[in-house]
Amino acid sequence: MSIVGFEDKVRDFINSGRTQRALLKDAASWNKICSSLDLIGDTQLAIEAYPEFEGLADGASYLVVYGILQTLLLQQDAAKNIGDSLDIKVNLPKALNDIRVIRNNAAGHPGHQKENGQSKSCFITRMSITPFSFQLMTVYSGERKDEFRTISIPPLLKVQEKYLNEILEKVVYEMEKREMEHRNMYKDNKLVDIFPKSSRYLLGKIAQAAGCKFDHEKGIMNLDTLSESLYKFKSELISRGEWDGNDSVGYHYDLIEYPISRLKSYFYGKDDINEKDAYIFSCFISEQFKTLKELAVEIDEAYASELK
């Protein structure tokens, strides 16, 4: 998979309801991962455009060299920040740290650095520079001899791609692992089992009670049974961290609460709605209850499935 492919995978995970809601609790962490994902994609665009720069004058070559080395550093930092935001430890391998050293020497802090107690300064030999390579001269304050090194950038890009892919693959693997652990924890606890097996009978009795004042006591009893199953359904979704992240369930749950309360008041003689209105309420409750049960089945199927 490409770097952009892994970027898309991470985006899919963090934008799923339960994961997104957990990340949004920490605004700084959410902003960091969103910025870092954008940066992964943006820097990849820059890297893919890099081969087009050929035959430039010295000044333009410096801009390209400074830019591509900084781009590699930014991309590495973005990968580390993504892991940090998700509590996934990311260690840069030596090969990527070597790229960081080259960037620091040539385009980060060339004027003065400390290395093993000695001051050092770095120079790009002007006559050597092209958009794709340059000679880097390093001089030391002590007895260490000056160093001359030819830096070829295209091989650095291949190293970066290889190891950044490995880092992002690890991030995706850890996220998938966590998701499957969560699913496996609950997959045998079917949400649909919370709904009474006699749902159709209960809904029918509620509708019957709505149209007959002599059946109000049975209406209350069946409505209470229905309400209890809805409460258990909501509680189970909350315990899974799914409640606030499922807009469909929340929407239909909100719709059913009002007619239940009105119909219950009617059965207790505290609401002066007429029998036809009460029957309409009961029909609406029936439709919303069926929809919620269907959504429970969908969630159960998702928890029983493997990641694609």
Q: What's the pLDDT tens digit per position in 259-294?
A: 999 999 988 888 788 888 999 999 999 999 999 999
Domain count for the chain, please give it: 2
Within this chain, do residues 178 and 219 fall inside the same structural domain, yes or no? no
- Structural domain including 200 reads 187-304
Report the C-alpha gap between 271 and 281 in whole angstroms.
Answer: 13
Residue 246: band (very low, low, confident or very high) from pLDDT cuts 50, 70, 90: confident
Q: 3-class DSSP state for residue 74?
A: helix
Domain contains 16 = yes
Domain contains 131 = no
Domain contains 220 = yes
Domain contains 299 = yes
Report the C-alpha gap between 163 and 55 in whole angstroms.
Answer: 29
Residues 274, 299 contacting (CB under 8 angstroms): no
- Summarize the confidence of residues 297-307 as an average pLDDT: 91
Q: What pLDDT is attached to residue 68?
A: 96
Q: Which among 160, 117, 11, 134 has a CA at the least distance from the CA of 66?
A: 134
Q: How many CB atoms lie within 10 A of CB 57?
A: 8
Residue 86: band (very low, low, confident or very high) from pLDDT cuts 50, 70, 90: very high
Within this chain, do residues 53 and 178 fall inside the same structural domain, yes or no? yes
Within this chain, do residues 237 and 158 fall inside the same structural domain, yes or no? no
Within this chain, do residues 167 and 218 fall inside the same structural domain, yes or no? no
Within this chain, do residues 222 and 277 fall inside the same structural domain, yes or no? yes
Domain contains 92 = yes
For strand 147-152 and strand 118-124, is the pairing parallel, antiparallel, or unpaired? unpaired
Within this chain, do residues 167 and 248 fall inside the same structural domain, yes or no? no
138 bridge partner residues: 122, 147
Domain contains 233 = yes
Q: Each residue of 93-104: pLDDT tens digit?
A: 999 999 999 999
Task: Name the pTM for this structure.
Answer: 0.81
Q: Which residue has the tokens 């699913």?
A: 183
Within this chain, do residues 29 and 87 fall inside the same structural domain, yes or no? yes
Out of 140-144, 156-160, 220-224, give the one with best mean pLDDT: 156-160
Domain contains 120 = no
User: Phi and psi (nearest 5°) for 121?
Assistant: -135, 150
Within this chain, do residues 162 and 32 fall inside the same structural domain, yes or no? yes
151 bridge partner residues: 134
Q: What pLDDT is attached to residue 257?
A: 93
Reported in sequence order, the residue ranges of the chain that DSSP labels E, i.e. its strands, are: 113-115, 118-124, 133-140, 147-152
Within this chain, do residues 170 and 214 fall inside the same structural domain, yes or no? no
Is pLDDT larger for residue 135 or for residue 108? 135
Within this chain, do residues 270 and 177 fall inside the same structural domain, yes or no? no
Residue 218: band (very low, low, confident or very high) from pLDDT cuts 50, 70, 90: confident
Q: Each residue of 21-45: pLDDT tens digit?
A: 888 888 999 999 999 999 999 999 9
Query: Any idea which of 46-50, 168-172, 216-220 has the lowest mean pLDDT?
Result: 216-220
Of the three residues 183, 199, 227, the one that is the final residue of a domain is 183
- Summarize the confidence of residues 227-246 as an average pLDDT: 90
Within this chain, do residues 251 and 178 fall inside the same structural domain, yes or no? no
